[in-house]
């Protein structure tokens, strides 16, 4: 058997089960199957016949999850598409409504640790960052094609990087001399763009730029906005939606969507965070926040202004 915990440890695993409340006979969607850690917990809690539909667009992760969860047989169905398309994909699979939905956003440890995927500057690799290699645009292409202003906007908006303009200007200058194609090249350009005294003490100067590029390549915030808008159409009234985020941009989107849409009733007034023991055992859990809502009986569009802006 593979050491699954070496590949990815599910965060807030017990909390997810207690909020999602899976029961036998239930049908649940795991929108971010990953290595299947959370889904394994749901399938066990929903024994003997509860089922999970797992969305995962990364081929490698989907294959490993299928191997890990093979013993559950037909209780698990894996759909290799974006969770953002769930409102179309579920009916295609013959499913009208489900009893719960989980999203555990961001990258898996597997993706970060496999240097060749280009998510991390710890290893030198082509600047790829696509979670699903069927997606058309890589990080290297964004670095090559976007204007200085567009790059600065990405670093500022998705990375909350205050040195965004300075870094973007440096990248544009560097790419005139030589194509920027590898993780290490980019990390060095970013580090050289900012005077040492402004470098953070506890992380590499390029951390936020890498996060921002990953979000842009995978259209992570667009996907989240879409799923929050569409999920009520597939959740039966009373079904629960659990979302784990890893940075403030995502958390804000979830918080606002839950509050603004009458199809959701908020369960967690404050987000649930990992206990110190979990953070100690799994440092990647430190920024996790879980928010939960229940599908109400109300229409998702009730109360919104005709322009959809209310």
Ligand X SMILES: C[S@@+](CC[C@H](N)C(=O)[O-])C[C@H]1O[C@@H](n2cnc3c(N)ncnc32)[C@H](O)[C@@H]1O
Least Å distance between CB 106 and ligand X? 5
Gap between the Cα atoms of 32 and 101, Å rounded: 10
Residues that bind ligand X (CB under 6 A): 8, 10, 32, 34-38, 55-58, 61, 82-84, 104, 106-108, 131, 223
Least Å distance between CB 40 and ligand X? 8
Residue nearest to ligand X (CB): 34
Gap between the Cα atoms of 129 and 45, Å rounded: 34
Residue number with CB closer to ligand X (194 or 212): 212
Residue number with CB closer to ligand X (161 or 250): 250
Least Å distance between CB 294 and ligand X? 21
Least Å distance between CB 114 and ligand X? 11
Least Å distance between CB 58 and ligand X? 4
Residue number with CB closer to ligand X (208 or 214): 214
CA nearest 39: which of 59, 58, 60, 67? 67
Q: Which two tokens stand for residue 19?
A: 């909020």
Residue number with CB closer to ligand X (130 or 295): 130
Contacts of 271 (CB under 8 A, 6+ apart): 251, 255, 289, 290, 291
In whole angstroms, what separates CA 91 from the centre of its chain? 23
Residue number with CB closer to ligand X (5 or 23): 5
Residue number with CB closer to ligand X (57 or 158): 57
Least Å distance between CB 89 and ligand X? 10
Gap between the Cα atoms of 254 and 248, Å rounded: 10
Residue number with CB closer to ligand X (104 or 278): 104
Least Å distance between CB 273 and ligand X? 16
């Amino acid at each position: 058997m593979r050491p699954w915990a070496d590949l990815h440890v599910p965060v807030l695993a017990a909390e997810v089960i207690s909020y999602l409340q899976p029961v036998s006979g239930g049908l649940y969607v795991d929108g971010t199957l990953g290595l299947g850690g959370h889904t394994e917990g749901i399938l066990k809690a929903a024994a003997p016949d509860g089922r999970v539909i797992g969305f995962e667009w990364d081929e490698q992760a989907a294959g490993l999850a299928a191997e890990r969860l093979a013993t559950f047989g037909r209780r698990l169905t894996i759909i290799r598409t974006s969770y953002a398309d769930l409102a179309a994909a579920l009916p295609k699979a013959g499913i009208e409504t489900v009893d719960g939905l989980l999203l555990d956003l961001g990258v898996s440890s597997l993706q970060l640790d496999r240097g060749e995927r280009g998510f991390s500057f710890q290893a030198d690799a082509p600047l790829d960052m696509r979670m699903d290699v069927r997606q058309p645009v890589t990080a290297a292409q964004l670095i090559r094609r976007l204007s200085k202003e567009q790059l600065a906007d990405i670093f500022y908006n998705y990375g909350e990087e205050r040195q965004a303009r300075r870094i973007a200007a440096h990248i544009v200058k560097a790419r005139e001399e030589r194509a920027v194609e590898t993780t290490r090249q980019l990390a060095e350009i970013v580090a050289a763009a900012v005077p040492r005294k402004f470098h953070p003490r506890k992380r590499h100067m390029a951390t936020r730029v890498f996060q921002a590029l990953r979000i842009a390549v995978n259209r992570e915030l667009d996907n989240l906005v879409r799923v929050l808008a569409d999920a009520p159409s597939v959740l039966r009234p009373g079904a629960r939606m659990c979302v784990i985020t890893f940075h403030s941009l995502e958390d804000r989107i979830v918080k606002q969507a839950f509050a603004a849409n009458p199809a959701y009733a908020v369960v967690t007034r404050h987000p649930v965070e990992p206990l110190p023991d979990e953070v100690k055992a799994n440092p990647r859990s430190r920024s996790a926040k879980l928010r939960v809502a229940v599908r109400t009986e109300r229409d998702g569009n009730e109360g919104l202004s005709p322009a959809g802006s209310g």
